[in-house]
A = this chain, B = another copy of it.
Amino acid sequence: MSFNSFGHLFRVTTYGESHGVALGCVIDGCPPRLPISEAMIQGFLDRRKPGQSRFTTQRREPDTVRILSGVMADEASGQLLTTGTPIHLMIENVDQRSKDYGEIKDKYRPGHADYAYDIKYGIRDYRGGGRSSARETAARVAAGAVARQVLPGVTVRGALVQMGPHKIDRSRWDWEAVDANPFFCPDPVAAAFFEEYLDGVRKAGSSIGAVIEVVAEGVQPGLGAPIYGKLDSDLAAAMMSINAVKGVEIGDGFAAAELGGEANADEMRMGNDGRPLFLSNHAGGILGGISTGQPVVVRFAVKPTSSILQERRTVDRYGRDTDIVTKGRHDPCVGIRAVPVGEAMMACVLADHLLRHRGQVGTPAAWPFEA
């Protein structure tokens, strides 16, 4: 058991606070002889980095990652290879703006973890939210970059599919569009609208929620295990562990509750390659907790940023009523930067389950099972 680790065979432990010296992760169990590099990991971190547009916090963090252990340079190519020992990825904090924390030091910001940490531990690092800050997710993104190397042939991609009450038009879904707007939005029309919409939210000193969808294609069938090691169960835990997430769905999710059995069933037919084919994907690629080879589809709801410029009622550490306005540099829609984080969690969970499956089952049985 570990409070700050996730995964079992591919296991990630993170540490660090928002305004501490450094944050990072130790990846334990990564298979040996996989190529990784700081540049490759940096590419993923840069997607999550703050200060990329006026729609994310203006904190300026380079988020430069260093690989401090677990690799060895290949003699011929110079390429770093994993060695099977723990990989430590560290990001030093740079822009911990020197400021007066008087307000949030003693007052509990509604919607934030301030009160919860104090009631649990009786002490908390209030600077920038400390351990509860979304800054911790940088370490996840770094780990996710390594996890992807464990998953050759698998594509993990995320997108913002709803902002506030506004859903995208899925018929316009274009993966190419995702990196062409500051929202990771696959619908260019919606993206244009979100620009205007979020400007309004921002200027009003408010914030707004969002829904993120992450899709993994090329996932080998057989990952996941009954009953408490189900792939969807671990994905739900992983996504719900992301800051501000309040809901998780697999495949049709809550919409499945409205369906009848015949509509919900994903029928099968033999494909041209001699392997079974599903005719739909209501299940989101998972049946009985085990991947079927279809795309694995997860969605999660992100609540609006709690740090807003509008005054709210609260109490302080002295047990007194008070009010609070949370100034500072905040994302008006924290859901946006959750997209690369959701991808990273998907990659980590899949990598872990691949190793677990390989361990328990080893050589799979031949298809078709009866001949």
Contacts and interface: CB of A to CB of B under 8 A. Distances in A.
Nearest to A251: B246
Contact of A209 (B108, B251, B256, B316): B256
Interface residues of A, number: 163
Contacts of A267: 110, 312-314
Contacts of A237: 228, 233-234, 236-237, 240
A269 B28 contact: no
A192 interface: no
A164 B263 CA distance: 12
A172 interface: no
A42 interface: no
B123 A293 contact: no
Contact of A119 (B17, B211, B290): B290
B9 A356 contact: yes
Interface string A219-244: 00110111111101111111111000
Interface in A13-42: 13-17, 20-24, 26, 28-33
A28 B8 contact: no
A151 to B, nearest CB: 13
A253 interface: yes
B320 A209 contact: no
Contacts of A56: none
Contact of A247 (B8, B132, B249, B359): B249
A201 interface: yes
A264 interface: yes
A104 B364 CA distance: 22
A262 B120 contact: no
B279 A313 contact: yes
Contact of A250 (B9, B72, B84, B240): B240
Q: Copies per complex?
A: 4
Most-contacted residue by chain B among A24, A28, A31, A364 (CB, 10 A): A28
Given A22-B69, A68-B21, A268-B110, A9 B222 contact: no
A169 to B, nearest CB: 17
Contacts of A15: 26, 68-70, 85-88
A284 B228 CA distance: 24
A357 interface: yes
Given A8-B1, A131-B83, A210 B257 contact: yes
A333 to B, nearest CB: 10
Contacts of A344: none
Nearest to A238: B233
A3 B228 contact: yes
Contacts of A3: 28-29, 86, 225-229, 360
Interface in A25-66: 26, 28-33, 66
Nearest to A267: B313
Contacts of A292: 115-116, 119
A116 B290 CA distance: 6
Contact of A257 (B209, B268, B276, B290): B209
A78 interface: no
11 contacts: A2-B5, A3-B225, A5-B228, A9-B359, A15-B87, A111-B264, A120-B225, A210-B257, A236-B248, A247-B247, A359-B360
